[in-house]
Every structure is written in C-alpha cells, then in structure tokens.
Structure 1
C-alpha cells in the first residue's frame, strides 16, 4: 500500500492485487465487510476489550439507526459516461486531500493492539489519509506524530475542567504538527454504556487511554498537588477486594505510569509511588466539563491559531451557532451511538445541518459509515469529508497496522468503484441528483 493515485482507477488496482495474490493462496489480512470485520475482531479480542470498542449506549438503538439510516437512500447511476480517469481529492483546511476520508478519533486503542495509536498513524500516513489523534489515546501525541512523519494529523480535544490543561494539550498539538483541532462536545458526561456496565469495565480506571494526560506537564502537576493534599481514594467507597485481577490492575497502572511526566523510572518505581493511582483519580475528575457553554468555549481562540472544528453537532441551530461564533467547521456525529440511546441517526441529521450551514464552513460526517458506498451517500448529501471509525479499530485488533491499512484501502477502493459506476469522475459531481429516497 502507498500514496493514493486515483487517476488510473484505484479500485481496479486493489482488486487486481487481491486477486493476483489469491492465485498463490494469499488472502487479505482482514475481511472486506463490516460484519466480517466485527466477527473477526470479536474472535481476536478479549470480552472486555471487544465490548468497549463495539458497544454503544443503552439498548444500542442509535448504533442501529446510524447504519440503517443509509437504507433511506439509493444511488441513482448514470451510464455511458467517460469515467476512465477519476479524482477523489477534496479541499479541506487549506490543503488538497487525496480522498474525502479521515480517521475519526478512537480512544484506548491499546485494547485492540499494543502498538495502538502509533500503528494507526503509520497506516494513515502511508495512505495519505488524515488521522484525528484521540485525546484518550494510549500513546502520547508526540510519539504518534514521529511515527507519521509528514502524514496529516488533527487533534481531538475533550474540553477539560482545567483551563491550564486545555492550553497545554493544544500547545502540544500545535508543536506536534496538528493541522486542526476537533473539540468533542457530546461527551461532557459518560454515556450509559451497558456492555461495559455489565462487565464492570472502564479502561480509564485501570490507567488505560490516558497517555495524553500522563505525558503532560500540567496534568503531572495536578497529580502531584493531589498527592500533596492527601486526596487519594474515596473514603466513602467500599475497599477494593484483593484478588489476582486487582493485583494485575495495580501492576498495569504502575507500568503505564513508568517513564512518563509522572514517574521518571521503571515499573517498580511507579508501583512504589502513589502518583500513577492518583493520576487515574485526577483524570476522572478533570476529564470533562459539564458546565461548558458557547461563551466559555470561545476562549479556545486565545489558546490556538489552528482551525477549530466542533464535533458532535446534529441540530441545525447548533450548526448555525457554530458559524456565527466563527468556528471553522462542524462534524455531524453522535459519537458512534455511544452517548445517547434513541438519538437521531447522523445520516438523517446531515441534510438539515448542510442546509443551515449553506457552504459557509466545512461539514464533516461520522458515525455509521461502513463502506465506500455509504461514503458516496454522505458526500452526495453534502458532507465535505467522512470519518472512518469502528471498522479501522477492528482492523487494528485483527492485524495491527496492516489491518488498519487494508480497511482504509478498501473504503477508498469501494468509493472509487462506486463513483465510477454511478457515472461520476469527481467528488464534486456528487449531489442530490446522485440519490433517490427509497
């Protein structure tokens, strides 16, 4: 896999490579369908790990609605058009992008693979697809940036209750070469995630998914202040039973705390120190800000010069407010159905947001995208760019960076094939006339 050249027919090249390898008995590293990806990831991962990556809020009606919503639209192909040469590129945040895809931020990727965000970054850079680094990453942004080289990267920020921490994270993102900031607005409280509740599993309580924090000097000082004040542990909570699992959890927290901004030493030093455990508790305290408002969010302009995009917009009035407030884009997203059950499907919300924005800022889209044909529908309904989420996480769990790369490759190839078969040669050719309500 390498840089995208769609002018000669990307889909045909991918198909040819797969079929030629098949002659020798070599099959792709990951399945091409979402159902196949999910089944293979379930088999490859532990029960807790898979549940966290696959699960949604409540009875998961929103997850179902996100995917089923695409069935409301059918592609209306045109024939006898010259589609020998095609251009999948788009303009976004002042740069020409090879395709309209980007990789949405997904946290705690160590649940899928030890290389986590680094593996995803390498795969994204190899395919010239932007990667939105998660605030809840398993690897510090600087490590991922080094692995990506010149690859395009953005940074997702969960607005913390600590303004100093927000400023530090944004400064680090700029220094690490981020081209844009995505502020996630729909996770100021943790959704009612039933699969995780049934298993009693929240990775953050085990020190997983907080590498952006433990590598941050401002966060490290917040942790030290907590230790100095003696505010470690909840005296009203029942004591944790000492079991083999609890001991493994403590060791895991210590191991992740070693050689970070918290503890300049090995796992044994971290195990002796109260700092790694205090870091978990500090994270749980400062992670989100339920009191965030439009007025307070405006301060982000003082903290970064990068384009700022608001992620989690589904209501047209909020999209209008984002334009009026001078933000640089919105992401129509419901967090992959992980926050509110019975929420409106993102593909159903997209046309209303696009209409209200009226081309004044880019409208990105995620939640529910399962292949290149879905991307065609979202782009025809007005999305500027489309984010891939769970599918690449499953690819990571199945085959590491190779799995991520094949998943993304397949999305691009199916988009290319669908575009041509619909009678179009450019992303700009897609529009309401490409679709019919069914």
Structure 2
C-alpha cells in the first residue's frame, strides 16, 4: 500500500496531495490512529483448519466480499477525471459497499448507474429542504443505508490546506449543492484561492449547520426506513444514546485525524463502544486502516467491518478504477492471509480473536 501512495504522490499536485494526506493541527490524531493500530497485538489460534478461508460477510444487511466499505470522501474528480464513477465501479467489482458523499463531484444517480451496493453520507445542512431532498434522492437511487456525519460542526484547522490556500480545480464541483441558494459562500474552486485560508473550509462553514443535535437524529430516524448510521462516534455515552434512538450502526471515527486535534485514536475508542452497544448496532471502524492486519484487529475488537479512505484515493490517483481495484484486492489478499495465519477460517472466527495492547488488554 505504501508503494501505491508513493506512486500517487508523484502524479498529484502538492496542494491536492496535501488535502488528502493531511490532518488537523499538528496532526497528533492522524499519527495516533496509525500508532494505536501498530501497537495492538493479535494472539493467534493454532491447529484450526484454514484450508478454506473466506472474507465474505454482511455489512448493514447486504452481502460483501470482505468486511470493508469505501469511506465517504469529497471531490474524487480532483484526483482523477473519472472521479466517483471509477471508485464506485471498482468497489462493485471487488464486492465492497461504496459511500457517496454529500460533497461528491458526481451525482448519486450517476454513481448508482455503476451498480453495486451504495450508502449515502449526509452532512447536516442549513437548508433543511435540501437535506430532505438529498435523502429522497438517495432512496430513489437505491442506496442501502443513510450515514449522517456528526463530527463536523465546523471543519478542523487543516494547516496544510491553509498554507496552500487550497481550493479544488475549476472542473470539480459539489454537485449535490451546486446551483441552489444553499451556497451563500463561494464554491471552493481555484478562482477563490486566498493565501492562509482553505476555500473548502470557508464553503463548508457557509453551508453546514453546527446546531445539529440529538433531536435532529430522532427526526431523521423518522424520515426513512433505510438503516441509519452515525459516523464520528468516539464516546460510549454517545453510542448508547444513538442506539436508544434507533440508530442501526455506528462508525467509530475521528474523521481520519482531520477534525479534533488530540482526539482519541479510533481503534482505542472501539472496545468501550463495543461493550456499551453489546451487539444492538453494527460497528464500523474508520481511521488509519491501510492493511489487512488492521482489518483483522478491528474485527477482533468488536467491529463488523472497517471503512477505508485515503488508500482508495491513492489508488484512484494512480490508475482510476483499476487503481482502486488494486487497493481493494490487495486488502482482501492481505486479510485472507492474516486470517489463515491467525487461525480464522471466516470473519466470525476473526471476531473471537484476542488483542493485546500496551494501552489495554482486551478480548472480544
């Protein structure tokens, strides 16, 4: 995977590379995600028949070839002209769900035409009419779940973007928002570059509603029969409240280290949340996952699966759909190998492994 990232870095302009790779502030949480995953230690089982290992599973009620979903990420066309259409097509071929972002650079309807399992990620917008419209569009397009991101009342201070005055290329647009009165601020194109500021941060501050609260989650739960997922949960009390409101799944996530500087690593938050939820909702881990061993550790600590972000974008930058497929196939091959060595013929067995960490000793 590191080779793919290196290859992508050679192809991308510095500002776009920084937009994908960077975290908030001094990037303490970005580093913590990787460090915590590295310090978790699996205790393998032996003398288990692993002649036939399968990574197949079910995520949010839909079959998947591996316990991996593509995370919601903005502006894929900034990395490759084929954008989200390429990423979604590769995910379909690999058997992984693809999450369409509110800030996608191609429409949910066009992405749905590629086939495969789609989830729709929703940011809470000041224009409540547009929130309702996006929900209906996601349902009509055949999305299998609705994922509300809850950890962005405003965008974190991403220093790399501020230093570069980051703005997306002029051919990239937030197509789900474009052309509506919801945009009191400028669309974050290169014509709006300003030294020391991120046009993307300014745009999201203009359109995102920081008043999002539990009453809005309850309202959203009433508006759809789709599985409802909250992304950005790190505190066990928030997890318990979400389950009590009828939320179907949680994404344990610190937004890839891009929001609160100094937040807990996602993998460190997972065990306590798993204990509180106690099987009443599915759990997905998001944050730093970049190899098959990371996936295995997440399963052992209570996750149903993981979401993968940056590696997918690096693959997209290298070769479009073929590059994304390369990343997802690599994750599947790595996971299958590590499962066999750890004595896990299937995903259910992986969830029974014990993990030891310098932070805690825990088994699930």
Q: TM-score scaled by structure 2?
A: 0.90
Q: Give the 5 Å matches for 1:160-239.
A: 160-203=125-168, 208-214=172-178, 220=180, 222=182
Shift of 1:161: 1.1
- Is residue 295 from structure 1 mapped to residue 201 from structure 2 by the alignment? no
What is the alpha-carbon distance in structure 2 between the residues aligned to residue 436 and residue 339 of structure 1? 28
What is the alpha-carbon distance in structure 2 between the residues aligned to residue 315 and residue 281 of structure 1? 25
Shift of 1:221: 5.5
Q: How has the CA–CA distance of structure 1 residues 138 and 213 changed in structure 2, closer, same or farther, with 3 Å as cutoff?
A: same
Q: Indicate conservation of the 8 Å contact 1:109/1:209, yes or no.
A: no
* 4+ aligned runs moved over 4 Å, structure 1: 280-286
Match of 1:70 among 37, 59, 75: 37
Q: Give the 5 Å matches for 1:343-422.
A: 343-422=263-342
CA offsets per residue over residues 217-270 of structure 1, 9 Å max, x none? xx63656xx7xxxxx88xxxxxxxxxxxx9x738x9xxxxxxxxxxxxxxxxxx
What is the alpha-carbon distance in structure 1 between the residues aligned to residue 171 and residue 317 of structure 2? 20
Aligned to 2:260: 340
Q: Give the 5 Å matches for 1:300-319.
A: 300-319=220-239
Q: Indicate conservation of the 8 Å contact 2:127/2:182, yes or no.
A: no
Larger radius of gyration: 1
Question: Aligned to 1:83, what secondary structure does the other structure show?
Answer: coil
Q: How has the CA–CA distance of structure 1 residues 394 and 292 changed in structure 2, closer, same or farther, with 3 Å as cutoff?
A: same
- Is residue 142 from structure 1 mapped to residue 109 from structure 2 by the alignment? yes
Q: How has the CA–CA distance of structure 1 residues 305 and 282 changed in structure 2, closer, same or farther, with 3 Å as cutoff?
A: farther
Q: How has the CA–CA distance of structure 1 residues 160 and 133 changed in structure 2, closer, same or farther, with 3 Å as cutoff?
A: same
Question: Aligned to 1:48, what secondary structure does the other structure show?
Answer: helix
CA offsets per residue over residues 353-374 of structure 1, 9 Å max, x none? 1011000010111111010111
Aligned to 1:249: 191
Match of 2:14 among 29, 36, 47: 47
Aligned to 1:30: none
Q: Indicate conservation of the 8 Å contact 1:162/1:286, yes or no.
A: no
Considering only aligned residues, what root-mean-square deviation do their CA atoms show, in Å? 2.3
- Is residue 122 from structure 1 mapped to residue 89 from structure 2 by the alignment? yes
Question: Aligned to 2:148, what secondary structure does the other structure show?
Answer: strand
Q: How has the CA–CA distance of structure 1 residues 88 and 292 changed in structure 2, closer, same or farther, with 3 Å as cutoff?
A: same
Task: Give aligned pairs, total.
Answer: 350
Aligned to 1:236: none
Question: Aligned to 2:120, what secondary structure does the other structure show?
Answer: strand
Q: Indicate conservation of the 8 Å contact 2:154/2:204, yes or no.
A: no
Question: Aligned to 2:180, what secondary structure does the other structure show?
Answer: helix
Aligned to 1:326: 246
Question: Aligned to 1:342, what secondary structure does the other structure show?
Answer: coil
- Is residue 90 from structure 1 mapped to residue 54 from structure 2 by the alignment? no
Shift of 1:284: 4.6
What is the alpha-carbon distance in structure 2 between the residues aligned to residue 127 and residue 386 of structure 1? 15
Shift of 1:187: 1.2
Shift of 1:163: 1.0
Q: Indicate conservation of the 8 Å contact 2:62/2:117, yes or no.
A: no
Question: Aligned to 1:409, what secondary structure does the other structure show?
Answer: helix
Shift of 1:119: 0.5
CA offsets per residue over residues 133-174 of structure 1, 9 Å max, x none? 11111111111111x22x000000001111100000010001
Question: Aligned to 1:413, what secondary structure does the other structure show?
Answer: helix
Question: Aligned to 2:47, what secondary structure does the other structure show?
Answer: coil
Per residue, is there more helix in 1 or in 2?
1
Q: Indicate conservation of the 8 Å contact 2:55/2:67, yes or no.
A: yes
Question: Aligned to 2:119, what secondary structure does the other structure show?
Answer: strand
Q: TM-score scaled by structure 1?
A: 0.76
Aligned to 1:59: 26
Question: Aligned to 1:419, what secondary structure does the other structure show?
Answer: helix
Q: Indicate conservation of the 8 Å contact 1:160/1:286, yes or no.
A: no
